């Protein structure tokens, strides 16, 4: 078979390890041929491909980003659609597609599969918000990067007796904030799943300061304070119609400083969480998922994605993966809340 691979949506550490795992197993075990669609769905819509021989994936598991490039192109817009993509696949002799991406990518893959295309998915998101898999690759690395950055903020906060607010990614879930906040010893962790008042945050900050500590607050970009109804978003919508989040830390900092009298600084970590080399955990998980995606192709499990359940890789339908977000449960937040203040 001739298989096309694409990486779509936001980049994250581990994408190249998926490509390597799929190509090595596909060639060594099944004798498949591989091509890569350049820049995500754009390459699929335009039929823009490159060959991926075995030599091309040599040593790429440790590289961040993606050798194929990525974009947030919607395959149903700008001259796309199932018929256009089918025509390109027939012209190029491509039998199936492995789509590596997050919620938007997999939602598009489901629509195209429903239209008759042969597609399997590999879940990718630093947010760890896909319900059908225990972990997504990229998340562990993002937490590691965020934790290191927050550790650095703590030392400068202590030197100046400041309150430091670190904003991390996560969209509408708080997994990165929860893990990085617990690891870094935050005095408050603010996540989208929990409505918290400014008064409560102020109390936690004051409690830490009264003990002689420099208060440290970790906030997820999608956090909605009690007095707000929707997440802070001032950058419009992405190509899939979702709000671009970010900036809540800048909103909280002056408010907390006014209420506590403590000099307060906000730092938005942003895309630094998605860059650089993947952690060992993410390299292994991504490689296993890439190899499992080949099994999906061989078995004809179209319309499914590979997912980590416990320590095993399973095949689940796109519908199950896209049914709902995997949010932080109450008991996990309650564990962390013991450490607040």
**Distance from C-alpha of 240 to C-alpha of 255, rounded to nearest angstrom:** 33
**Distance from C-alpha of 296 to C-alpha of 3, rounded to nearest angstrom:** 12
Kindly tell me if the per-residue pLDDT of 243 is higher than 80. no
In terms of Cα–Cα distance, which of 43, 328, 286, 63 is closest to 189?
A: 328
Confidence (pLDDT) at 246: 82
Confidence (pLDDT) at 322: 87
Residue 159 CB: number of other CB atoms within 10 A? Answer: 9
- pLDDT, mean of residues 204-215: 96
In terms of Cα–Cα distance, which of 167, 126, 174, 172 is closest to 330?
A: 174
Q: In what order do the strands lie in the sheet with 2-7?
A: 49-51, 33-37, 2-7, 96-101, 119-123, 304-309, 312-317
- pLDDT, mean of residues 176-199: 97
Kindly tell me if the per-residue pLDDT of 71 is higher than 80. yes
Largest CA distance in the chain: 70
| Known binding-site residue numbers for ATP | 10, 72-73, 102-105
- Considering only CA atoms, give the Rg of the chain: 21
The active-site residue out of 11, 39, 127, 282 is: 127
- pLDDT, mean of residues 68-88: 94
Count Cβ neighbours within 10 Å for each residue of 57-85 and write b for 16 or more, e otherwise: beebbebbbbbbbbbbbbbbeeebebebb
H or E segment to which residue 23 belongs: helix 15-30
pLDDT above 90 covers what percent of the chain?
85
pLDDT, tens only, 285-319? 999 999 999 999 999 999 999 999 999 999 999 98
pLDDT above 70 covers what percent of the chain?
97
| Cβ(46)–Cβ(139) below 8 Å | no
Confidence (pLDDT) at 185: 96
The structure tokens 């190249």 sit at 16
Packed helices 139-160 and 175-184: angle between N→C axes, nearest 10 degrees: 50
Query: Is 312 an annotated catalytic residue?
Result: no
| Cβ(86)–Cβ(116) below 8 Å | yes
Enter the pTM of the model.
0.92
**What mean pLDDT, rounded, does the chain reach?**
94
């Amino acid at each position: 078979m001739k298989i096309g691979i694409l990486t779509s949506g936001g980049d994250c550490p581990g994408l190249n390890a998926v490509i390597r795992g799929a190509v090595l197993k596909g060639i060594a075990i099944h004798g498949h041929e591989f091509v890569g669609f350049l820049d995500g769905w754009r390459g699929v819509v335009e039929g823009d491909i490159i060959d991926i021989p075995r030599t091309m994936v040599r040593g790429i598991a440790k590289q961040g980003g993606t050798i194929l490039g990525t974009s947030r192109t919607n395959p149903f817009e700008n001259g796309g659609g199932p018929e256009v993509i089918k025509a390109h696949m027939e012209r190029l002799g491509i039998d199936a597609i492995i789509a590596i991406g997050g919620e938007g990518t997999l939602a598009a893959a489901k629509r195209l599969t429903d239209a008759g295309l042969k597609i399997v998915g590999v879940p990718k998101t630093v947010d760890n918000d896909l319900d059908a898999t225990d972990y997504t690759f990229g998340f562990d690395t993002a937490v590691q990067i965020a934790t290191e950055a927050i550790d650095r903020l703590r030392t400068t906060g202590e030197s100046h007796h400041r309150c430091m607010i670190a904003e991390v990614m996560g969209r509408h879930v708080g997994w990165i904030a929860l893990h990085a906040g617990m690891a870094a010893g935050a005095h408050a962790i603010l996540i989208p799943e929990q409505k918290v008042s400014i008064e409560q945050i102020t109390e936690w900050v004051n409690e830490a300061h009264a003990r002689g500590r420099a208060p440290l607050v970790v906030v997820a970009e999608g956090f909605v304070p009690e007095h707000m109804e929707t997440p802070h978003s001032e950058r419009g919508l992405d190509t899939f119609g979702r709000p671009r989040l970010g900036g809540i830390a800048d909103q909280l900092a002056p408010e907390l400083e006014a209420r506590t009298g403590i000099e307060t600084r906000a730092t938005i970590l942003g895309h630094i969480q998605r860059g650089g080399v993947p952690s060992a955990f993410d390299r292994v998980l991504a490689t296993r998922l890439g190899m499992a995606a080949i099994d999906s192709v061989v078995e004809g499990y179209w319309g499914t994605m590979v997912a980590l359940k416990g320590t095993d890789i399973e095949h689940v339908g796109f519908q199950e993966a896209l049914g709902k977000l995997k949010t932080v449960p109450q008991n996990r937040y309650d564990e962390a809340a013991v450490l607040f203040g």
